[in-house]
Amino acid sequence: MLLRLMLVACVSGGPSVPAQSMEPVSDSVRVGTIEGQLEMRPTPARRRADRYLGAAVHAPSTVQRIAPVVFLRGRFPGITAPAGRIRLEQRDTTFTPAVVIVGVGGTVEFPNGDPFFHNVFSYSPAQRFDLGRYPQGESKAVRFDEPGIVRIYCEVHETMRSAVIVVENPFHAIVDDQGAFIIRDVPDGRWELEVWHPDLDGGVRTITVEAGQTTRLTIPLQ
């Protein structure tokens, strides 16, 4: 039996993230499905003035929105997340898409599609880097070798932000605009589900997946 995990993704303000598939696993693996709904309190739009032109010249802009992500933590015997190579473009003074998921050992390219300079950097514990400023048409890349959440910013434009979620397995989903998500073909057992939201506390929950069943979750975020 060939099992494939399809990534359910809906990223506001950018193109959808391509579905990712997992390598075939043994016929003996018994799997179930996780369906969930995040209950999220409204978060006011964060506003920042342009640091170079000043508020008197440029009205404050809204900080870029990032969709929440849910994923199972840790390694699964015989199942790994595809590493691959993903593009996270700088275009129209935003990161597009706003969030990407990559397996440990994967690489993210950061091409500049705008007619002015950008800078890409992160101070996240899972990956610290600073690519410096570079112009339209140039691209730089970063390899991610440790699992975790890597928040991405542009030093030139304070409203730009993104995230790279580095995972050890292919069981994850980007939450849609209604707060819903689904993760298919999850081996049965007890697993740790992490919820990441850019502005709210997500946390980690222990869940049980039963073969042939759907585990349904309602997760309030504060």
| pLDDT greater than 70 at residue 180 | yes
In a domain, 116, yes or no: yes
> pLDDT value at position 27?
53
> pLDDT value at position 64?
94
In a domain, 6, yes or no: no
> pLDDT value at position 44?
58
Give residue 172's Cα distance to chain centre.
Answer: 9
CA dihedral sign of residues 181, 182, 187, 188 = positive
**Regarding beta strands 85-87 and 106-111, do their DSSP bridges make them parallel or antiparallel, or are they unpaired?**
parallel
Give residue 4's Cα distance to chain centre.
Answer: 20
Residue 176's domain comprises 31-221
Please, how many CA atoms are within 13 Å of residue 215, restricted to the half-sphere of its CB?
22
Residue 69 sits in a domain whose CATH number is 2.60.40.420
**pLDDT tier for residue 24 given thresholds of 50, 70 and 90:** very low
**pLDDT tens digits, one per residue of 114-159:** 999 999 999 999 999 999 999 999 999 999 999 999 999 999 999 9
Residue 194 is given by DSSP the state E
- pTM of the prediction? 0.80
Average pLDDT over residues 64-68: 95
Q: Which residue has the tokens 């950008």?
A: 118
In a domain, 165, yes or no: yes
Average pLDDT over the chain reads 84
| Domain tally, the chain | 1
**pLDDT tens digits, one per residue of 181-197:** 999 999 999 999 999 99
Residues in the chain: 222
Cα Rg of the chain, angstroms: 18
In a domain, 2, yes or no: no
Which position has the higher pLDDT, 95 or 61?
Answer: 95
